[in-house]
Amino acid sequence: MGIRHTMKGRRALSALAITTGLLLTVAGCGGGDDGNSDEGAPTSSASTTSSSSDGGNSESKTPEPETVLAEVKGENGLVLAVTSAKRDEGGFVTVEGTVTNNTGALWVAAEWRGDESELARNGGSIAGASLIDQKGKKKYLILRDTSGRCLCTQFTGGVQQGATAQWFAQFPAPPVDTTEVDFQVGGMPPASIQLTEGE
């Protein structure tokens, strides 16, 4: 019985100590008016300035819309856009863009994987894409790794109706004096694009 009363007493003291600590914390944070209202003004204006400057930063961090170098439409409602075509130091070109599915159904990129037997394991990808250098009369096929996988996007799970997916594809670089090529994939019309130097 004595132990029970002792435990109750300790609990009551613990509760009292916690409550007192909380009250002191609240009182300390409560910034009462000590008659120096000018001291409070810079703080609030500083916080206003910082919040407006934060707002400015967040606006400047908003990604700008990508420049579209070319856009082509397929008969079935697909829209292919090329947003970047850059030469890289390693002697290859990286082409990037988007595909928008307006076909009315799930799109799985089956006809974009290419006809070559080596590309059969690249289903649902943009592996069948090519760059055509009209000036040099040469066609550049997509780069592959040692196991035959393309250096390109695979649309895992397909692209839902109305959705837009990002893609990339890498090719051997045409000669330096070639500045314009045609990007072509599947049954899409060729898209004429300008090559730029990588950063």
**Per-run averaged pLDDT (10 residues), the chain, 199 residues:** 49 51 49 49 44 44 70 91 93 96 92 77 86 94 89 91 96 94 94 88
Instruction: Specify whether 128 is located in the same domain as 47.
Output: no
Q: Give the start-end residues of each E strand in the chain.
A: 70-73, 78-88, 92-101, 130-133, 138-141, 164-172, 180-184, 191-194, 196-197
Instruction: Specify whether 96 is located in the same domain as 161.
Output: yes
Nearest-angstrom CA–CA distance, 58 and 153: 30
Tokens representing residue 121 in the block: 């394991």
Structural domains in the chain (count): 3
Instruction: Specify whether 22 is located in the same domain as 45.
Output: no
Instruction: Specify whether 99 is located in the same domain as 50.
Output: no
Instruction: Specify whether 96 is located in the same domain as 47.
Output: no
Q: CATH number for the domain including 165?
A: 2.60.40.1240
For residue 140, what pLDDT is reported? Answer: 96
pTM: 0.65
In which residue are the tokens 């890498």 written? 170
Instruction: Specify whether 149 is located in the same domain as 160.
Output: yes
Instruction: Specify whether 143 is located in the same domain as 165.
Output: yes
Instruction: Specify whether 24 is located in the same domain as 93.
Output: no
Q: Which domain holds residue 41?
A: 33-62
For residue 89, what pLDDT is reported? Answer: 86
Instruction: Specify whether 53 is located in the same domain as 120.
Output: no
Instruction: Specify whether 47 is located in the same domain as 113.
Output: no
Nearest-angstrom CA–CA distance, 140 and 179: 14
Nearest-angstrom CA–CA distance, 127 and 112: 6
